[in-house]
Structures are given as C-alpha cells and as structure tokens.
Amino acid sequence: MTNFPYPPTNYQEDNRGQFHFSTRSGWMNDVNAPLYYRGVYHLYYQHAPNSLVWNTMHWGHATSTDLVHWQQRPIALDPAIHPGDLWSGGGVVDCGNESGLKNGDHDPILVYSGTNGVTIFYSLDGGDTFTAYDGGRKVVTPAGTSRDPKVFWDPVSQRWGMVLWSDAGGNGADFFSSTDLLSWTFASRYRADWLFECPNMIRMPLDGTYHWVLHDGGGRYLVGEWDGTSFRTDWSAPQKLNQTETFAGAGYYAGLNFSNLKGDRVVSMAWQGENYGSIWTGNASFPVDFKLRRTTDGVRVVSTPIAELASLRANTRTWTDVALDDKSARRLLSGVRVRTYELDATIDVRSARRFGFRLQTGPGDWYDREVAYDVRAQQLGGVPLRPKSGKIKLRILVDRGQLDVFGNDGEVYQSYNVNFDSLPGGDGLELFTEGAIRLESLTIHELASIWRPPGESTLETSLQGPWYAARGQWSDVAAGKQGKSPGDGFYLSTATGSDFTLDGDVRLVEGVAAALTFRATKDASQHYTVNVDAAANVVKLWRPGRDIATVPLQVERGRTYHFTVEATGPRIKVALDGKQVIDANDATSAAGQFGMNVYNGTAVVQDVTVSAR
C-alpha cells in the first residue's frame, strides 16, 4: 500500500521555486537514487512528509519525462512498511536481471539505504513501489559509523561497485564489489579527512579515454582511476563541484548523478536547504550536465544547465555589440521587468575594473543580490575565473528562491538559496560597470513555471489536460484520482475526441456508482458515461435523459474494474475486464471531452488512456 500524504497546492508561495523542484509539502533533504527508466526520470529524496524540519526519514518520489517538469508521486520508502533507517542512498536499473529478481515486464530497480549497514529494496513496477530484499537483512556492514551507499557499474571489470562513507579510522570511503547486485565483497578503502558523507563515483570521458570522479556530500572531488577494486589519484587535494560554502543545509549538498542514462551523459542534482514556506522546506538544485575539461589549472569538472531548460523560455530579448560605460550600462536594462529568468552574457572586460548584474532591483537603488566579476582579481563571486581572449561569459538563472551562477561555460558553478523580494516593483535588472566594457552579447529569457495545474500527481493518463472539476470534490490519493459527490460529480480533461478507444480503471469505494465519461461538454451538461452501479447492480451506458444500455453485474465495492470503450460515429462498444458487454448506437454527441464520474458516493479512477481509431 502506498502513501500520498500531500494537500493540494498551486506551488505559488512567494519564494517557492518555479523551475527548481520542491516537494509538494513537508521536509526534503538529500537527493537519493536519481535514475532513468523507460522514458521517465525518477528523483527520490530524503523526506519527512509530515514535518517542516528533519524528522523520521522516508524516501519521497517525483517523476519527469524531461528533467524539467516534475510530478509528485506517492511515498517510495515508508518506515511504516520498509525496515531500517531509510537514510540516503543510490539506486540502479538491473537491465540484465543480474539480481535474478525480475518477475514480469519491468526490469528490477534496486535502491540501497541504511545506516551502519546497507539494506536493499527492489521495485518490479518501474520504480513506484519497493520490497525489502531478504526481509531487510543488511548485505554490507562496514566498521565504524557508515551511511549513504551508492552503486555504480564498471564496464571494464564487468562488476558493480558500491561506495559508502565510513569513519572507521577517520573519514573515508569503503568500496565493495558484486556481480549480482545482492552479494557484496569488501574491495578497498580510500582514506581522506575531507571526505564526509554521500560519496559518489562517476565514470566520465576525456580525450578518448575514461576517468573516474570521486566526490563527497560537499561536492569536493578528485579525478583518478578505478581498477575494479580500488580508486587511485595523483591529486594532492580536492577541487569543488560547486564553488560555494557546501555543508548540510546550505545551497548545495549531497549531489548525485542519474543512473542508466544513455551514452556518456552525466546529469546531477543536489539538495538546497535554505529555502522554505508554510507547508514545505528545502528544494533540489536545477539539474546540470557534468563534463571533464582540460583547463589552465588542470582537468576539472565543469557544470552547465541542462539543455532541456530551453523548453521554459519565453519573451526573449537580445543586445549585441554595445560599448558601455557606467552611466550607459545602468540605462541599458532600465525598462526590463522580470521575475524568473535566464541571463546569458559575453562581455569584453579588458578596459574594466569590475562589472556585474544587480538582480530584482527596486526603487531607491534597492536590489536583492549582486553577481559581480572583479577584473583585477580575476574572480567571480570570490572564486578564480580567468578571462578568455579578454572576455568573460556569464550565465545566471534567477528563480523566486534560488540563484544559479555559471562562469565561462561552467568552469565556475555556484548555487544559492536567495529569498528574492516578491513585493511590487522589485522585478528590475541592472547592469553595472566600473570602467568601460563591450557587451558582445546579452540574452534574457523569461522562464515559465514548471508547475502544471495541480491535481494530476497520482493520475496515470495519456491525456495532457489540463484537468478540472466540473462538479464534486476531487483529490489525489495513492491509487489515483478520487472523487466524492452527493450527486453526479465530474472530473474532465480539456482533451477532446470523436472516434477513439478509451481505457480506464474505476473502483467504487462507497456509495452508488463509479464511471468513465466521454464526448462531454465543458460543464458536463451533455456527455456519455459508462459506470458500475452498485445500487442497481448493473453496468450502464447513459447520457442525460436516457439510459442507453444496462447489463446485470453483481458490483463489488472496493474492486477495480477495467473499462474499454470503442466509439466510432454513433456506435459505442463497451468491454468490462476484457469482455464485451455493450454494443449500442446513439447519435446525440459526436465529439467532446474525456473524464470520469462518481455518483452519490466515493470513487477512484486510474490509468486513463485514449488512442485514436
């Protein structure tokens, strides 16, 4: 049984990120087991669904088809169901069934969690629900205090590796290896005082070969080699993935990359802990692509916003080849009013001392944040960044409660929680300079919200909607969309059709009838509806003013019934659980909207799909 303990929300609190993911309600912290499977990105995370502070850990769950728009899903790991401490960990898709756990169409998805010992949970339904492997037995128990297991695949040794943090003899990472993802053998230990919590291993290409990146929860990393049992590097000190103060609860912590991505793509997300509202605490960083690059300082991991961000762009403005001094720079953007946006600039700084952007400006020289480059010190926000051919590239993402800064195509990456002023008049933007600059290019894209109309978080449907309640009370429950109504209640998609095949599952929880609706008007004053009716014990196809067909059925409350409706012109055929029960004709409505219905009771509808005929 899954749990969906979330109240409705429109995600519009003043500092709620509009393109950074946050849990629908409750507390979130570390990113857990991000993975990709059959066209869907799964983001799990540390979660206390009924608290605004850290509390008993669950694994929250959200999904996306584009890494940008996210839907809240039911709880994935729940301490009322799953044994052990459900703390941070990683996950993999077992595409080769090396675990032997496969039972059905889906490849097993395995996630690893637990403190002072590793517990495995596996999913056979594509990552929605999980079962404890071997009753929750710990498959690995390192010495000392340990947590945060992350599993990775090594194509050279053809073995799985596991890395987790342990303080046995001081901070460090313990490595284990396996061929079946279930039985693990100790391989080696990498000792480092700086390496604390949430370790991760990533295989990344550079110059025709591959290297391994080992990083910890604070984003400190080394580039080295993995021989199937141990990690080695000639680096004497770590670099940082995110050049800010990185600690638990800061604007960047506990990042992990998505497993099972195609090719060599590495996409990472982290926890940002300094943002909160009245029903939620914490958010995820915007996804970035990691790549290895040779720089003047050596090999480095560079970070850039994922290309999918472009799907949010609107109202783009561009300036090119403009010479500016202090006064003309301040005038340049005086008419710009933006709240959530992306800024991309290339600036020749050879005649300047300092320049930058002041964000969310208002009357009286007010601004919420300044992003500045010191030309003499060659620093962006206090972090070294050398000009290239006298130019600096800046890319800035501004959200309601988040700020991401990228310098020179990701050589600098800084993410912050910033409570940007939401008061009227605080939506300006200013370019400033000390000395002359040449603006080679500047582009500003306003960014739309990722939050679709609330309400489809648990309804699996091929209809894009949006959906809305025509009558009755409708809410999300773990099993789908639930409707309650003393009379007829309708929940409709704005999608329409004339000739089609409609499939869906209906379950009458209590009361009289649960149904699918089609060819409806927007207010459901006209429609066709096929239901299971527990008062009359029938399957019925009806429209306002006429019962078109009824078939006897001993209707069971609490049972799920699957309807298939084939509509071609006036002919309507209905199958129940795969058996045709109705074949009728009615020419009243030739086309209209799809939806669902409840009558005098409570019903749940799920898996609504439509295909054209």
Closest C-alpha to 406, from 218, 241, 217, 212: 241
Interval 255-292: pLDDT, tens: 999 999 999 999 999 999 999 999 999 999 999 999 99
Among 382, 414, 447, the domain boundary falls at 447
In angstroms, the CA 200 to CA 184 distance is 17
Residues 6 or more apart from 58 whose CB is under 8 A from it?
46, 47, 48, 49, 75, 76, 77, 78, 79, 86
pLDDT of the residue at 532: 98
DSSP 8-state code for residue 311: G
**Are β-strands 402-407 and 391-398 bridged in parallel, bridged antiparallel, or unpaired?**
antiparallel
For 541-596, what is each residue's pLDDT tens digit? 999 999 999 999 999 999 999 999 999 999 999 999 999 999 999 999 999 999 99
- Per-residue pLDDT band at 229 (split at 50, 70, 90): very high
Instruction: Say if residue 341 is in the same domain as residue 431.
Output: yes
Lowest-confidence pick of 96-100, 131-135, 442-446, 478-482: 478-482
Are 273 and 378 part of one and the same domain?
Answer: no
Q: Does the residue 458 lie in any domain?
A: no
382 and 269 co-located in one domain: no
Instruction: Output 489 or 1, whichever has higher pLDDT.
Output: 489
CA angle 505, 511, 515 (to 5 degrees): 30
Q: Are 599 and 508 in contact (CB under 8 A)?
A: no
The pLDDT of residue 453 is 59
Residue 166: CB atoms within 10 Å: 22
Task: Report d(CA 210, CA 224) in Å as an integer.
Answer: 10
Helix (H, G, I), strand (E, B) or coil at 416: strand
Residue 253 in domain: yes
Residue 275: which CATH number?
2.115.10.20
Active-site residue list: 30
Of 265, 283, 301, which closes a domain?
283
Q: Is the residue at 98 inside a domain?
A: yes
Neighbours of 205 (CB within 10 A): 13
* 6 within a domain of the structure (yes/no): no
Q: Which two tokens stand for residue 331?
A: 């005038």
Each residue of 399-424: pLDDT tens digit? Answer: 999 999 999 999 999 999 998 877 77
CATH number at residue 529: 2.60.120.560
Q: Side-chain half-sphere of 396: how many Cα atoms within 13 Å?
A: 28
The reply to whether 32 falls in a domain is yes
Q: What is the rounded distance in angstroms from the CA atom of residue 82 to the CA atom of residue 87?
A: 12
Q: State the average pLDDT over residues 307-325.
A: 96
Cβ atoms within 10 Å, residue 210: 16
Side by side, the strands of the sheet bearing 391-398 are: 313-324, 437-447, 341-348, 391-398, 402-407, 412-417
For residues 443 and 473, state if they share a domain: no
Q: Which of the listed residues 413, 447, 481 is the one where a domain comes to its end?
A: 447
Whether 195 and 165 have beta carbons less than 8 Å apart is answered as yes
The predicted model gives 348-376 an average pLDDT of: 95
Separation of alpha carbons 306 and 43, rounded Å = 16
Looking at 343-395, list the stretches that DSSP marks H as alpha helix, in order from N- to C-terminal side.
Answer: none
Give the Cα separation of 546 and 589 in Å (integer). Answer: 13
Residue 96 above 90 pLDDT? yes
Q: In sequence order, which residues have a C-beta less than 8 Å from that of residue 369 and are 6 or more positions away?
A: 358, 359, 360, 403, 418, 420
pLDDT digits (tens, 9 = 90+) for 464-478: 778 888 999 988 877
| Interval 361-374 mean pLDDT | 93
Q: What is residue 466's predicted lDDT score, i.e. its pLDDT? A: 82
CA 237 to chain CA mean position, Å = 33
Q: What span, in angstroms and rounded, lies between the C-alpha atoms of 399 and 407?
A: 18
Q: Which pLDDT value is given to residue 2?
A: 66
pLDDT of residue 455: 45
Per the prediction, the chain carries an average pLDDT of 95
**Residues 420-430, mean pLDDT to the nearest whole number:** 84
Specify whether the CB–CB gap between 300 and 320 falls below 8 A. Answer: no
User: Which pLDDT belongs to residue 501?
Assistant: 97
Q: Both 485 and 438 in a single domain?
A: no
Task: For residue range 523-539, list pLDDT tens digits in order.
Answer: 999 999 999 999 999 99
Does residue 362 or residue 269 have the better pLDDT?
Answer: 269
**Count of structural domains, the chain:** 3
Q: Mind listing the pLDDT tens digit for each residue in 506-524?
A: 999 999 999 999 999 999 9
Per-residue pLDDT tens digits for 108-141? 999 999 999 999 999 999 999 999 999 999 999 9
Please report which helix (H) or strand (E) contains residue 331, including its range: helix 326-332
| Full residue range of the structural domain in which residue 109 is found | 26-283
Is 368:426 a contact under the CB 8 Å cutoff?
yes
CB-based contacts of 360: which residues, under 8 Å, 6+ apart? Answer: 339, 367, 368, 369, 398, 420, 421, 426, 427, 428, 429
CB neighbourhood size of 204 (10 A): 17
Q: List b or e across 213-225, with b for residues whose CB sees 16 or more CB atoms inside 10 angstroms.
A: bbbbbbbbbbbbe
Q: Once rounded to an integer, what is the mean pLDDT over residues 310-319?
A: 94
Statement to judge: residues 217 and 321 lie in one domain: no
Query: 436 and 474 in one domain?
Result: no
Same domain, 103 and 250: yes
pTM, to two decimals: 0.82
Residue 455 included in any domain: no
The reply to whether 84 and 211 lie within a common domain is yes
Pairing of strands 253-257, 379-380: unpaired
Name the nearest CA neighbour of 107 among 118, 90, 122: 122
At residue 479, the pLDDT reads 82
pLDDT in tens, 27-66: 999 999 999 999 999 999 999 999 999 999 999 999 999 9
Work out the burial of residue 231: count CB atoms within 10 Å of its CB; fewer than 13 is exposed, 13-18 middle, 19 or more buried: buried
508 with 584, same domain?
A: yes
What single-letter amino acid sits at 300? R
> Measuring CA to CA, how many Å separate 357 from each of 132, 153, 345, 361?
51, 43, 10, 10
Say if residue 1's pLDDT is above 70. Answer: no
When pLDDT is averaged across residues 441-452 and rounded to a whole number, the result is 93
In this structure, the answer to whether residues 507 and 431 fall within a common structural domain is no
Are 358 and 226 found together in one domain?
no
Domain for residue 149, yes or no?
Answer: yes
Ranges of beta strands (E only) in 247-382 are 253-257, 267-276, 280-284, 288-295, 298-305, 313-324, 341-348, 352-361, 369-374, 379-380
The answer to the question of residue 354 being in a domain is yes
